[in-house]
Copies of this chain bind each other. A is one copy, B any other.
Amino acid sequence: MDPRVSLITLGVTDLGRAREFYERLGWVGQEVEETVFVQAGSMALILWSREKLAADGGITDEGTDGFGGVALAHNVRSSEEVDEIISTARAAGAIVTKPAGVTFYGGYSGYFTDPDGHAWEIAHNPGFPLAPDGSITIPDFGGR
């Protein structure tokens, strides 16, 4: 199994609301059969009914819309961009769970949750090089 992720599907309770939220962030998708597909670099973000997603995966869903144990991060090139995106997200209806500030690793980041509780970190991390095409490279930490 090669190390790559092709799709991230976020389960949502109101597809129109979720789509509008991401479009206000600038993420434009196509809707087909009550599913929204957004090309995101070399992969795709999908918005789909949480109920249908669980059923499709044969997964029991206790239906909480709290923290799902997953956070997505969007890295940017400056602290100013972090502030701008968090401000845009707040205006679009996100809950800012951690205001942007200096991080323990020497970067600058903040977190918000989308209308379905999915967590996003918006980060400027000078230690993780970001290529012109938006791809990120984990440096060699000398760890194992």
Interface residues of A, Cβ cutoff 8 Å to B: 1-11, 25-28, 30-32, 37-45, 50, 53-54, 56-62, 64-75, 85, 88-89, 97-98, 111, 113, 116-119, 121-123, 128, 130-131, 133-138, 140-141, 143-144
Contacts and interface: CB of A to CB of B under 8 A. Distances in A.
Contact of A38 (B3, B41, B57, B60): B3
Given A32-B141, A57-B121, A113-B59, A85 B1 contact: yes
Contact of A136 (B31, B44, B133): B44
A133 B2 CA distance: 10
Given A62-B64, A64-B62, A143-B31, A72 B8 contact: yes
